[in-house]
Amino acid sequence: MKYLELDFIISPYSRDAADILIALVADAGLESFVDTPQGVKGYVQTGLFEQSVLDNLLDFFPIEDVKVTYRLAEAEDKNWNEEWERNGFEPVRIADRILIHSPEHHNLSPAEYDIVINPHQAFGTGTHHTTGMILERLLGMNLGHKTVLDAGCGTGVLGIFCTLKGAKSVWAYDIDRWSVDNTKENMQLNGVKNMEVVEGNASILQGKDAFDLILANINRNILLADLPSFVSVMHAGSQMILSGFYVEDIPLLVQKAESLGLSYLNHTEKENWATLLFERL
């Protein structure tokens, strides 16, 4: 399988700009990223790369006075994944109660909730604001005996945390096979038995029993398209946390959710990223 390597240069560089860039260019087919001193390197299967889409996205980069350029080259097979696994990620602490780290991290000060994640190329280690904000919300919720849906699970970190916090069961899915495999690996690393993960999109929710809580950390357009499917597996009193979008997207998502019978409860913001909490009436 042939891959292209895109070396993105962010000027001026910031961690927030890098996070936004990663979320943005995923729409052009890029599926894995490695941090560099000046930006990030992204990797994409040769046949899936849409350069015109990427160029258009970069022309409208949402941070004022930040310029993003890139160099394109062929990558040797598997180098993109090996480099990511070699570099890994730094341990992440959420609200001084959750510790997320890789199996290679040792001698860390303990936390109330300890989660081991071997991320490979899947999204979701807690380093991104959207993942962190959802975890902060979950810390304040009673998940005891709740059934949870983790839509677009990535590494499975959100669902795994729910099991640690007392959820009765978690059912997760992702459209990418490598995310499904990665979630299964991370479930084993954390000794999780009451979680199931399958490959697919929101259409596989048809005929499923209702969940007490739905988590969806995706992007705005997919959320808008999938909201009817989510609502179809919510009962009266079910709640849903959405993230993966910008603050300016809140009105559009609230309007769509309310048109489907959901009640807006509140939202949180961090560095222009947002989460939304809804409940079915």
Query: What are the domain boundaries of the chain?
Result: 3-85, 128-280
CATH class of the 3-85 domain in this structure: alpha beta
118 CB-near residues (< 8 Å, 6+ apart)? 85, 102, 103, 182, 185, 186, 189
Nearest to 119 by CA among 22, 220, 17, 2: 22
Give residue 2's pLDDT.
67
**Distance (Å, rounded) from C-alpha 239 to C-alpha 278?**
6
- Whether the Cβ atoms of residue 179 and residue 122 lie closer than 8 Å to each other: yes
Amino acid at 150: D
**Distance (Å, rounded) from C-alpha 198 to C-alpha 184?**
9
Annotated binding-site positions for S-adenosyl-L-methionine:
131, 152, 174, 217
Amino acid at 139: L
Give residue 170's pLDDT.
99
Give residue 236's pLDDT.
98
**φ and ψ of 245, to 5 deg:** -140, 170
Helix (H) / strand (E) containing 273: strand 273-280
May I ask the CATH architecture of the domain 128-280? Answer: 3-Layer(aba) Sandwich (3.40)
| Residue 144 DSSP one-character state | T
For the chain, the maximum distance between any two Cα atoms, rounded to a whole number of angstroms, is 52
- SS3 at position 201: coil
Annotated binding-site positions:
131, 152, 174, 217
- Whether the Cβ atoms of residue 112 and residue 97 lie closer than 8 Å to each other: yes
Enumerate the H helices of the chain as residue ranges: 15-25, 51-59, 79-87, 129-139, 157-164, 177-189, 220-232, 250-259
- Whether the Cβ atoms of residue 216 and residue 240 lie closer than 8 Å to each other: yes
Give residue 80's pLDDT.
39
Write down the residue that tokens 């959320």 correspond to. Answer: 223
Amino acid at 114: D
| Tens-level pLDDT at each residue, the chain (281 residues) | 467 889 999 999 998 888 889 888 876 778 677 788 899 988 887 777 888 889 988 998 989 899 999 999 886 544 334 444 455 567 889 999 999 998 888 889 999 999 999 876 545 555 578 889 999 999 999 999 999 999 999 889 999 999 999 999 999 999 888 889 999 999 999 999 999 999 999 999 999 999 999 999 988 888 999 999 999 999 999 999 999 888 989 999 999 999 999 999 999 998 888 999 999 99
